[in-house]
Amino acid sequence: MSLIRIQQLSVSYGTPPRPVLSAIDLNIEDGEFVCLLGQTGCGKSTLLRLVLGSERATQGRILIDGVEHHQPDRTRGYVPQKYSLFPDKTVLDNITFGPEVSGFGLWSHLSPQFYRRRREFRDKAYDYLRRIGLHKSDADKYPDQLSGGMQQRVAIAQALMTEPRILLMDEAFSALDPGTRKEMQRLIRGLSQDLGITVLFVTHSIQEALQIGSRVVVLARESASEGSRVVLDCDPRSCDAGLLARQLLDIMEPSKETPGLTLEGVEVEDTQFAGF
């Protein structure tokens, strides 16, 4: 059984209803790194929130291990586009906040088990600091003392602290400069492999999808009166690279070419596509 099963999913907003997604069918296997690609406004982030459980579909359903979930829980971590850190908490406190509240509630300091568990949470947080490329000395810093890339690393550690099976990332690197963005792409690809988690990664960048995805799913509207559907679903490692690049360009930017993406031999920026 697939880890995530999206069945005939449709979403409409407003009165009269305006379709956003129409009849989405997807099966996502455990351990896949799926990039959801599409133009701005095609419903990528909506689909991510539906998998998270923070929104409800108009029709259809989503099953996680065969079960519907109607609210977020610890099985699904979430990293938004904008930094999600509490400005008045240190890096360490930001990372441990979720597990402490879910484990003990807001009155956690009154529990006799709290301080033992808090040490365990902090030891785990230090381990994630190491995994995301930060140092123990960064634990006592506040968000305004961190660069954008460092803040997003901490946001990833926040999401991973509950040991989710699924990590949902919504344009998580779009606000970063190109150099930092490359570093973060390598980081999240490595983490997904090391931890064995399933990743749904929303992006509107063709290059990013080809660089990090083990599977690329493209959403697009076939007409203005319909919601977006899945118009392309492939494993970029097993597709003809030149043909795939042309298909993506036709869907995303039919009148443009993407800077840095060479169709002959498909080289994405300075990295050979065949290596992914």
**Domain residue ranges in the chain:** 87-163
> Can you say whether the dihedral through the CA atoms of 230, 232, 236, 239 is positive or negative?
positive
User: 206 φ, ψ to 5°?
Assistant: -60, -45
Q: Is the peptide bond before 164 cis (omega within 30 degrees of 0)?
A: no
Q: What is the pTM of this model?
A: 0.87
For every one of its 276 residues, what pLDDT tens digit does the chain have, with 9 covering 90 and above?
899 999 999 999 999 999 999 999 999 999 999 999 998 889 999 999 999 999 999 999 999 999 999 899 989 999 998 777 999 999 999 999 988 877 666 555 566 677 788 889 999 999 999 999 999 999 999 999 999 999 999 999 999 998 999 999 999 998 899 999 999 999 999 999 999 999 999 998 888 998 899 999 999 998 888 999 999 999 988 888 778 888 888 888 765 554 544 433 334 433 333 333
End-to-end CA distance of the chain: 26
Tokens 């977020």 appear where? 72
